[in-house]
Amino acid sequence: MTDQLTEPPTTTLFQTERQREIVGLTLQSGRVEVAELADRFGVTTETIRRDLSDLQRQRVVRRVHGGAIPWETGGFEPLLSVRTDQHDAEKRRLAQIAVQELPDSGAIIIDSGSTLTRFAEVLPRHCELRVVTNSLLTAQVLTEHETADVIVIGGKLRKNTLAMVDADAIAAIEPLVVDTLFISSDGLSPTKGLTTPYREEAALKQAMIRAARRVVALVDHSKVGQDQFVRFADWSDVDVLVTNTEVDPRIIATIESLGTTVLLA
């Protein structure tokens, strides 16, 4: 009853958008406070607490005294709809640069993730490549490419990412030989290479790397400087890194000194 007196009714759409932003803020800062969120969104603290309870039931944040933290403290993978919205302009810039790294013919692998969905969207309509992917979203995008031969890797579906990453997916990748792998990462640093919070996903990415003659990594600037739980690639595994101009030039210079070509978008 108190909420009805102190703030206008909240529509379902607005509640969804607010919760999406809360998840994004939790990811960026590692912790959010109830009072600060209430001020930010112009709602009561009771409304924010209900939002946090909803998000905890979805297993994307954990409620703590006075606020919330990411559900997984060793690394946080937000819902796909949230990740797609985060740094979207930067991801589109990466895609436009990375498409120039496509081979003229042959086969490629496109890893899962919101950045690589953007990459799939800018593939030339006339491309005659054989495209292997573990992402249902990428496969859906590529249905509009009549000349592309699309192969979807099977396995258990991870609902947060709409991708297959289990042992069956790894077994399907192992015998393949492709020209170029386009891959992304949850974390990147000059000392640790490419990292992810998930061991299963790391194993699949390593299988993809072994299958490819050439590896192109698309990683937006928000992931740079972060080390997640599991390393799946050293810089010796990565031929080209496509990232944003916002990255510290010293980090770029260090990575280039290790033999990886860096392209800035």
Per-residue pLDDT tens digits of the chain, which is 265 residues long:
334 334 444 444 478 888 888 987 887 677 889 999 999 999 999 999 999 998 988 888 888 888 998 876 544 444 454 444 567 889 999 999 999 999 999 999 999 999 999 999 999 988 899 999 999 999 999 998 889 999 999 988 887 788 999 999 999 999 999 999 999 999 999 999 999 988 889 999 999 999 999 999 999 998 998 888 899 999 999 999 999 999 999 999 999 999 999 999 9
Residue pair 136/153 in contact (Cβ under 8 Å)? The answer is: no
In which residue ranges of the chain is CATH 3.40.50.1360 found?
82-264
Beta bridge partners of 196: 230
DSSP code per residue over 86-98: TTHHHHHHHHHHH
Environment class of 56 (CB within 10 Å of its CB; exposed 0-12, middle 13-18, buried 19+): middle
CA nearest 101: which of 72, 77, 78, 124? 124
Can you tell me which residue has the tokens 């800018």? 122
Q: How far apart are CA 84 and CA 75, in angstroms?
A: 17
In which residue ranges of the chain is CATH 1.10.10.10 found?
2-71
Tokens of 109: 């692998």
| Model pTM score | 0.72
First vs last Cα of the chain: how many Å apart?
51
Strands (E), the chain: 32-33, 61-64, 67-70, 107-110, 130-133, 149-152, 157-158, 163-164, 178-183, 187-189, 193-196, 212-218, 230-233, 240-243, 261-264
Q: How far apart are CA 208 and CA 176, in angstroms?
A: 9
Please identify, in words, the CATH class of the domain defined by 82-264. Answer: alpha beta
Tokens of 123: 């593939």
CATH second-level architecture of 2-71? Orthogonal Bundle (1.10)
| Cβ neighbours for 205, distance < 8 A, ≥ 6 positions apart | 111, 183, 194, 196, 232, 233
Q: How far apart are CA 87 and CA 90, in angstroms?
A: 5
Cα separation values, 10 from 22, 48, 83, Å: 16, 12, 24
Q: How far apart are CA 45 and CA 35, in angstroms?
A: 6
**pLDDT tens-digit map of 212-258:** 999 999 999 989 988 888 999 999 999 999 999 999 999 999 999 99
Q: How far apart are CA 232 and CA 203, in angstroms?
A: 7
Q: How far apart are CA 43 and CA 41, in angstroms?
A: 6
